Amino acid sequence: MEALLANERIALREFRESDWEGVHSYASRGEVCRYQSWGPNTEAESQVFVQEIISDAAALPRKRYGFAVTLKTNDQLVGGGELNIHSVTNQTAEIGYIIHPAYWGQGIATDVARLLIDYGFKGLGMHRIYATCDPRNTGSERVLRKVGMQKEGQMRETILISDGWRDSMLFSVLRHEWK
């Protein structure tokens, strides 16, 4: 069953095999993966990513919800968003998002985060949803604060990236806090 989340300007839909080129258009760029443990992607890596997302969507029980972020006006792929269930017992999930730089500063990441959080609470029954970001990634920090997540703290040297170990700021929101 294809999950679909949307607001007035974007839609989050299941990935299709043909989406690898759209993914590659942002995942191959250094500024996009600067704070990530992956990338810049080769074409083959972008193809494998899309295949993994499609495969994980078929898993039962499903724990990874990866969505292509598209513009509603023309189905143009402009990024990706994920919600990953980390504990069914503790009703905890993590969100993440990535947007093509041509669409930075337009509120799309904020829209994606809101749709994912809403789906996590209302659609999947989660109690706590969290996200992490590199302390230098001020854009992502602004998104997380804007959607109502609270900073819980900073974890030291959690992810190995191209310039060494990076810290991760931890943000979360609880179901009863979500509006």
Give 29-45 pLDDT, tens digit per residue: 999 999 999 999 999 99
CA distance 73 to 100: 17
What pLDDT, in 10s, does the model give residues 151-174? 999 999 999 998 899 999 999 999
What pLDDT does residue 178 have? Answer: 96
What is the number of helices (H) and of strands (E) in the chain?
A: 4, 8
How far apart are the C-alpha atoms of 111 and 13, rounded to whole Å? 14
Tell me the pLDDT tens digit for each residue of 110-156: 999 999 999 999 999 999 999 999 999 999 999 999 999 999 999 99
Q: Which of 121, 126, 120, 117 is nearest to 148 (CA)?
A: 117
Position 173 scores a pLDDT of 98
- Residues 131-168 as b/e (b if ≥16 CB within 10 A, e otherwise) read bbbbeebeebbebbeebebeeeeeeeeeeeeeeeebbb
**Tokens of residue 90, six digits:** 């503790």
Taking the alpha carbons at both ends of the chain, their separation in whole angstroms is: 27
d(CA 122, CA 137) in angstroms, rounded, equals: 29
Distance (Å, rounded) from C-alpha 36 to C-alpha 10? 24
pLDDT (tens digit, 9 = 90+) per residue, 22-80?
999 999 999 999 999 999 999 999 999 999 999 999 999 999 999 999 999 998 999 99
Q: So what's the pLDDT on residue 2? A: 55
Give just the sign of the alpha carbon dihedral 24, 30, 36, 40. Answer: positive
Whether pLDDT at 1 is above 60: no
Whether the full predicted model's pTM is greater than 0.75, yes or no, is: yes
Give pLDDT, residue 4. 86
Query: Please, which pLDDT band fits residue 106 given cuts at 50, 70 and 90?
Result: very high
